[in-house]
Structure 1
């Protein structure tokens, strides 16, 4: 693969509401520090490097960036880096953010926002990003409780013009049905990659049937989650990577892209070389035999 010349357009496109985006996007979580995300003692990433990565992402055709006000570390805020690097924003750029969780100034996690507190979280994202509206806001939750009140509060902010489109993050199938009864849902952002459960696969398929974008996180990190790319690769993944002359991380991302045209991965990095490698996956076409091998690993782990 020629990562130096490949752009995100090679991955194809999908829609987020009325916005068309290239399928490979960019996750901003790792922009703020080295090492594990949200670790209190992590070293802040060099500001100029983070800004260079963001600008290079757009040069390579990325027009979908995922962020959140709670993506910050000592000295760095993902939203403010995005604003510094990219404002005034290109018209085709879609910035998706998340609300629900919160962190205090010391970095400690706070209880999930009440419906009344969600407006403050939306306004904080607006302030940090320097915008008068947010393209997409995902309600991120933990647990299985009803989301009707919280999603309804965001629907009110959408009606008021502060939000253009709504999505969900870290949810179950019944949450999607509950939300869609209140307002349109343009995307679901859930963990997904090789080894995902049968329930996760069902959710991905349901989103495809309903024309909803499925935005997987930890597609590369896998079991590493916030710590970064996993080293827990099977012999089969290593063998397929050698066949194509790419990294195991690229194979994991390519497999995820092959799960449906509505799948929009958001791999994140603070490294320019890794960014180019992620974008280059858009040209990687896995054979049916290789997909069958990787699918078997997926089903075995489910």
Structure 2
């Protein structure tokens, strides 16, 4: 269980912003912070990690107080059982893959966890290589494994997949979900990718100007109307073509291109580049624009 009330005055090039958010979710959930740049997502992660202190508030994780300004409690990052994966990987360039993981070990910790993690994220053939010889996806797997070495209670992910191509991003999403479930983690992800959020998250907090604008299950947060059906996929509109009295909407879903027949009323507010949900209704596919 994580309960947090966070207040902090932030200053940027555009002026002052007051971060004032409340988080309350269960242990073991996969939670995503979503919103535009500057909404306070990364700052919230840094505060939970203890890398930044709020002006006031409290953070409680699994019945342990990590921060409470009134009681003058502020645990340092080393006292908070967290794993943190940064967007830029932050690996040690002079160390091999294995050495990067071993460096994260606690003094009294069994090294067997390193072998276990190398196996889970499929780094066996890369363990003696240095980061500069690895691809972006391979480096991200190393960063993920290193964040898990000390068996954290909370895994923090700050847009870890944003620089990767669609195929590699999808594969790493699967790795993250695998370790999230295997180690019974509570995971907090920062992401701008709606498809990624819907695939991975139990709960989404939509932030705007330092406040929580909306919270709920991904389909509740992003869909204006609830859709039911045997399938639901998220994709991006890449073409809209009129054929006689109907429209053909071409949607990119992952690495697949799907063509959906639509009526005029379905495409009135639809443009190329929009994110949509493709769902089934009475055996016919329907489109719904995602309100980001």
Compute the TM-score of the two structures, normalised by the length of structure 1. 0.33
Q: Compare relative contact order (CA 8 Å, sep 6+) and give the higher one, 1 or 2.
A: 1
Larger helix fraction of residues: 1
Larger strand fraction of residues: 2
